[in-house]
A = this chain, B = another copy of it.
């Protein structure tokens, strides 16, 4: 089956920043992404879990964005502007996609 090269960018970010990240990413011309819930985690600021939490102050989400390579820099700039002062992790992986016309 015919596949096409693309980039898979995974941004783990505080839930409270999700709308800001979404906006920044969309301003950078990227409209496709998927957001996964996160149960818990650990990092320099300690361990946490969402169990029983009602606030949105703790808790993160993971945004997955599959894009053509040429849009990568725009996306990273947009993401960086949001995560810069915040906790969060950005990772990029090379991938292949079906139906390249969608990206």
Contacts and interface: CB of A to CB of B under 8 A. Distances in A.
Given A31-B42, A42-B31, A91-B8, A73 B36 contact: no
A48 to B, nearest CB: 10
A41 B34 contact: yes
Q: How many copies does the complex hold?
A: 3
Contacts of A95: 91-93
* Residue picked from A3, A26, A77, most chain B C-beta under 10 Å: A3
Nearest to A98: B90
A49 B22 CA distance: 12
Given A80-B98, A93-B93, A36 B33 contact: no
Interface string A28-43: 0001111111111111
